[in-house]
Amino acid sequence: MIHETASFILEQLGTYRPQTLIILGSGLGGLGEEIKNPIYIDYKDIPHWPQSTVSGHKGRLIAGLLEDKEVLCMQGRFHLYEGHAPETIKMVMSVFKIIGIKNLVVTNAAGSLKQEMAPSSIMLITDHINFCGRNPLVGNNDENFGPRFPVMANAYTKEYQEKIRAIALQENISLHSGTYLMVLGPNFETAAEIRAFQILGADAVGMSTVPEVLCGVWCGMKILGLSVITNYGTGMIQEFHGHSETLQQANSAAGNLTKLVRRFIKEI
């Protein structure tokens, strides 16, 4: 099944053989529109491929040129709260390994757990806490893709962290850094949960990314993670927030995110 899906995508790519995959989070799909000479592959047309059902996720692959580099972009990801089994994400990332992906740029919309990290800011993910209770690597392991026990010491590639920090400095873009905590969702967190996550050492919270990173590490990919901060965690301020506010804040930060990612792609 995995090889059949990979063969289909490779056929659709024509002469493109991208080595970098960009996964775009809620409200961040605009970066995909900047890809030149694009080839669009709708998820619904890919055999054995899951479907994205969340507002702000278009549900297609885009292949093309970004800063004259061949890239592949997921304009719409798969969340466990949609009902996808964790192993679905393992299958998807295995397909990307077969077609030649070596670098993973993963973005998301996240809630801030620090007062100094306000909505519309960007956080470099330096580590994560898997609090969702699921792991896509559970089950039989295929050593052709990765080891039974992947080491997570350099999950978010240190070399890429240093590179994006230098780019942010040159572009005069404020870049926070910290630990991303994943919950299963789909509800926003309670105030008590936010306080607990702060005690655990998390700096931002969201409902994605960790399964993709676990599988990316397993597949031997180098990884850059960026969170767009869309709201403060529940109880940190008086206002309530929802998905529409998440999309609005993500859109307002998209310009800076696009600058960072474009420069990063150019330099790797």
Catalytic positions, written as ranges: 26, 57, 79, 81-82, 109, 207-208, 231, 243
Burial pattern 105-140, b for ≥16 Cβ within 10 A else e, equals: bbbbbbbbbbeebebbbbbbbebbbbbbebebbeee
Token output for 147: 């080891």
Question: Tell me, what DSSP letter sits at residue 158?
Answer: H
Question: Between vectors from CA 75 to CA 93 and to CA 182, what angle results, nearest 5°?
Answer: 60
Please give the Cα distance from 255 to 95 (Å, whole number).
30
In angstroms, the Cα distances linking 266 to 29, 38, 157, 184 are 19, 17, 17, 34
Nearest CA among 120, 117, 135, 147 for reference residue 211: 135
Residue 89: phi and psi, rounded to 5, are -70, -35
CA dihedral 154, 49, 81, 127 (to 10 degrees): 10
194 contacts 234 by C-beta, under 8 angstroms: yes
